[in-house]
Amino acid sequence: MTTTRSTTRVLRTRAELRAALADVPRPLGVVPTMGWLHDGHRSLMQRARADSATTIATIFVNPRQFNEAADYQRYPRNEARDLAICRDQAVDLVFAPEVEEVYPAGFDTVVSVGAVARPLEGAARPGHFDGVATVVAILFNLIAADRAYFGQKDAQQVMVIRQMARDLAIPTEVIACPTIREADGLALSSRNVHLSSAERQAAPVLRRALLAGRARWEAGERSGDVIRDAMSEVLASEPLATPAYVSVADGRTLAELDALVDGEPALLSLAVRFGATRLIDNEPIG
Ligand code: AMP
């Protein structure tokens, strides 16, 4: 029996990517990321590896999805460390292009998803989902993977990308994977690195608020307002937390709900600022 030691190839250009993908074994699974990789990304890579004959990760901090230039500038980056993680995870290929390779001179198209992209993150971060949908459409077209893996942590993002892929007839199947958390419940995020130690200690309040909302639902509460208030009350107990939104929404449309209906999915979700750092989390119910 022969074993082949897997190696990870790093691709910088569209031409290198096209050549590398020409004859890879299928199915091909892709994990799109913005780098500063953590256990959440690792879990996506593991799922992709389990499903696929070939796994590719992308590392690209997409300027078009940042609605604040300062947020883009300070987004954490460490490519050497990220590539070491991709090697550890036995990812076969990494596409890590420069901005000009993704958006060549003269690029002038925006992919703008409709209703599901408007509330929550769409309302709080104008242009964000246009940037996400545009870059993911480009990556899906360049890579033509059989499946793409995204985190449930960014629940609305998954819904926006599903809608985009369906509407643009892109055959890549979009798979949502569970949120990976620290032991204290904080969802892993590249942005956690910006938290001061006091903010880091305060940050699990997002999870506690979501679980308080879920507990109300499990106790039989069906009023959207009562569940929103239960979450807001938990957030109000943490002085370092400044809520941006507290949402109880339809799990398919993300429209805010007056009343939850048994058997129909709902999504509890939050965005909360700690100083300059904005964190999001969610809890699907029903
Ligand atoms: P990002 O690099 O932040 O753009 O994230 C790349 C992918 O990893 C997205 O699909 C995210 O939803 C996913 N992701 C980020 N954090 C987590 C987490 N804590 N658990 C699972 N997936 C995550």
Residue 2 is predicted with a pLDDT of 47
What tokens appear for 108 in the block?
């002038």
User: Using CA positions, which residue lies closest to atom 5 of ligand 1?
Assistant: 33
How far does residue 150's CA lie from ligand 1's centre (Å)?
Answer: 6
* Closest ligand 1 atom number to CA of residue 188: 19
- To test the pocket of ligand 1, the residue of 41, 94, 207 to mutate (highest count of ligand atoms within 8 Å of its CB) is 41
The per-residue pLDDT for range 37-89, each reduced to its tens digit, is 999 999 999 999 999 999 999 999 999 999 999 999 999 999 999 999 999 99
- To test the pocket of ligand 1, the residue of 36, 39, 44 to mutate (highest count of ligand atoms within 8 Å of its CB) is 44
Band of residue 203 on the pLDDT scale cut at 50, 70, 90: very high
Average pLDDT (98-123) is 98
Cβ partners under 8 Å of residue 103, min gap 6:
64
Average pLDDT (249-276) is 98
User: Does the global pTM surpass 0.85?
Assistant: yes
Residue 94 is predicted with a pLDDT of 98
Give CA separation, 258 vs 120, 206, 252, 266, in Å.
Answer: 16, 22, 15, 11
User: Using CA positions, which residue lies closest to atom 6 of ligand 1?
Assistant: 33
- Cβ(174)–Cβ(165) under 8 Å? yes
How far does residue 59's CA lie from ligand 1's centre (Å)?
Answer: 12
As for ligand 1, residues whose beta carbon falls within 6 Å of it are 33-34, 40-41, 43-44, 150-151, 153-154, 177, 179-180, 187-190
* Closest ligand 1 atom number to CA of residue 36: 2
Band of residue 97 on the pLDDT scale cut at 50, 70, 90: very high
Omega before 119 within 30 of 0, i.e. cis: no
Token pair 């996400």 in the structure block, residue: 132
> Is pLDDT larger for residue 117 or for residue 3?
117
Residue 1 is predicted with a pLDDT of 47
* Closest ligand 1 atom number to CA of residue 152: 12
User: Is the pLDDT score of 3 beyond 60?
Assistant: no
Average pLDDT (82-106) is 98
How far does residue 190's CA lie from ligand 1's centre (Å)?
Answer: 8
Average pLDDT (93-117) is 98
Give CA separation, 61 vs 18, 94, 194, in Å.
Answer: 21, 14, 16
The per-residue pLDDT for range 158-188, each reduced to its tens digit, is 999 999 999 999 999 999 999 999 999 999 9
How far does residue 2's CA lie from ligand 1's centre (Å)?
Answer: 35
- To test the pocket of ligand 1, the residue of 46, 135, 154, 277 to mutate (highest count of ligand atoms within 8 Å of its CB) is 154
Average pLDDT (89-114) is 98
User: Using CA positions, which residue lies closest to atom 17 of ligand 1?
Assistant: 40
Examine the residue annotation and report whether 41 is marked as an active-site residue of this protein.
Answer: yes
Average pLDDT (107-118) is 98
User: Using CA positions, which residue lies closest to atom 14 of ligand 1?
Assistant: 151
Average pLDDT of the chain is 97
- Cβ(173)–Cβ(147) under 8 Å? yes
Strands 28-33, 9-11: pairing kind: unpaired
Please give the angle made by the CA atoms of 17, 20 and 26, to the nearest 5 degrees: 110
Residue 64 is predicted with a pLDDT of 98
How far does residue 3's CA lie from ligand 1's centre (Å)?
Answer: 32
- Cβ(147)–Cβ(30) under 8 Å? yes
Closest C-alpha to 26, from 145, 137, 136: 145
How far does residue 220's CA lie from ligand 1's centre (Å)?
Answer: 32
